[in-house]
Amino acid sequence: YSIRPDRYPAPNRFWRNLEESKTDVKVNVSKPVFSGSDRLEGKLSFGGSFVRTERNQQEAAFTFAASGQFFDVAGGDPTQYFADPNLVVSQGTDFIQTNNVSNPANSDAGFLNVVGTYAMLDARVNERLSGNVGMRLESASMSIESTRDTSDQTPEQIANNRGTLEETNLLPSINMTYVLGKVDPIRTTNLRAAYSKTLARPVFREKAPFRGFDFETLQTLKGNPSLGQTSIDNVDLRLEHYPTLGEMISAGVFYKHFNAPIEQTQVIEAVNEELTWSNVPFADVVGVEFEAKKDLANVTSARFFKDLSISGNLTLIRSAVKIQEAELESIRAQDPNHPDTRAMFGQAPYIVNGVMTYVNDSIDLVTTLSFNVQGPKVFLVTQGALPNVMQQPTPTLDLSMSKGWGENFRIGFKARNLLNPRNRMTHLFNDVLYDWSSFTRGRTYSVTLSYSI
């Protein structure tokens, strides 16, 4: 009954404390333009923003160390081994003591400042064509470093263990709407087209210069101080039809190109399995989306259906991300025919949402039943040719009810995860799914009572 330290780490208990604060200041101004024109009408908007996020994360770790008191003496019984008499430190006796094994390098502090300014023009060119065009300038400054004592380190070592980001970007956008058909202000058919450039910056944990055990993936995660931001080009085309008030049907296509996307990758040079985050060369996402909303009062004259509406959307997605050369070489050493791309981390191939809403104003009752399911997606990137761990579809069904009571009271009821499906993370091998992890989250219920003045 022993743990060999050359093979397994001793059992530790971790305490982690994370504090983050955010300051968000925005100023927006708008004014009408083209007021003297018979054809054009529009609005010019401009403004600025400042967002500062500060982070302080501390980790403490403790373990038991035996001083002459070994587990096999207790016959492998944990209760007997950790009994109070064995925890008394006394000279000349055997005992178990608590050791502080905290690593100062695993505590960090950092900040992110984002300063932005923008200008945007909304304009209606004629009765059919309208849209907006804008430009945003963003400047970001980020720093994250360990709070350990660096007095024994060289300036180069200190710089290598500090994650920094200094970027300034111009982000254009344009959205156009063309009215294909119009019976009245409500019953219309529109064609929308849009392009925008956006950013995805790394979060603090991804750039933090330390290794830490992750209790969700059961893996060692290593931050990447050199991680950079991702720029994204977004293109959308959508056809919308509004047959009557409160109803809509639409179909659209979209495309996203990611330059230097942030992906979970393996640390190839690590002796034991470690994961990190890296900027891979590129990724592409293309998809189609269908959405509809129907008011059932237009279907039947039954009183119950007069207050009932349903809506839903279906999104089909295909994503591909370029695998890094070192990782691809490791994979192809065991699987020579493995493709050089894989699905983006966390991106499902399909998403289904459905909502049923009942609103009865006469009795002040609102009830919503919502459903969601997403297709399988990458949960964990594995070493070599071992199939990645995939999060299998986990359908959710939630119920929310709210009822007014008198002039000021309102009572609410919520039920979450009514289906309580099994949450499965799996490997796929020879067309068979093998569980990496499997559990149920359980159902939750809550009742609220609110009073409004």
Measure the CA–CA gap between 412 and 366, rounded to whole angstroms: 9
Instruction: Please give the pLDDT value at position 204.
Output: 94
Task: Tell me the domain boundaries of the chain.
Answer: 40-54+109-451
What's the distance, CA 203 to chain centroid? 11
> Could you give the C-alpha distances from 141 to 156, 256, 366, in angstroms and in order?
20, 26, 45
HSE-up (13 A, CA, CB side) for residue 79: 0
CA nearest neighbour of 183 among 258, 241, 254, 143:
241
Beta bridge partners of 256: 234, 285
Q: Which of 170-179, 278-287, 299-308 has the lowest mean pLDDT?
A: 299-308
Tokens at residue 337, please?
Answer: 């025919």
Contact (CB, 8 A) for 367 and 400: yes
d(CA 395, CA 180) in angstroms, rounded, equals 37
CA dihedral 264, 269, 271, 273 (to 10 degrees): 10
Tokens of 91: 């000279």
Please give the backbone phi and psi of residue 157, each rounded to the nearest 5 degrees, phi first.
Answer: -65, -40
CA contacts within 13 A on the Cβ side of 240: 19
Does the structure show a pLDDT above 60 at 2?
Answer: no
pLDDT of res. 407: 86
Per mean pLDDT, which range of 194-198, 225-229, 281-285, 293-297 is the poorest?
293-297
pLDDT computed for residue 209 by the predictor: 86
Q: Summarize the confidence of residues 106-121 as an average pLDDT.
A: 96
pTM over 0.95: no
Query: Which residues are bridge partners to 250 per DSSP?
Result: 240, 291
Q: Output the CATH code of domain 40-54+109-451.
A: 2.40.170.20
- Least confident range from 96-105, 191-200, 363-372: namely 96-105
Q: At 56, phi and psi to the nearest 5?
A: -140, 115
Helix or strand run (H / E) with residue 88: none
* Residue 222, pLDDT above cutoff 70: yes
Question: What 3 state SS string does 90-109 have?
Answer: CCCCCEEEEEECCCHHHCEE
Cα–Cα distance measured from residue 272 to residue 190, given in angstroms and rounded to the nearest whole number = 56
- Whole-number pLDDT of residue 207: 93
b/e per residue 203-216 (b: at least 16 CB within 10 A): bbbbbbbbbbeeee
Structure confidence by residue, pLDDT tens digits, 63-94: 877 766 566 666 667 777 777 777 766 655 66
Residue 173 is predicted with a pLDDT of 98
Higher pLDDT, 169 or 210: 169
How far is residue 46's CA from residue 24's CA, in Å, rounded to a whole number?
A: 17
Region 95-110: mean pLDDT is: 85
Which strands make up the sheet holding 389-391, listed edge to edge? 377-380, 389-391, 422-429, 432-440
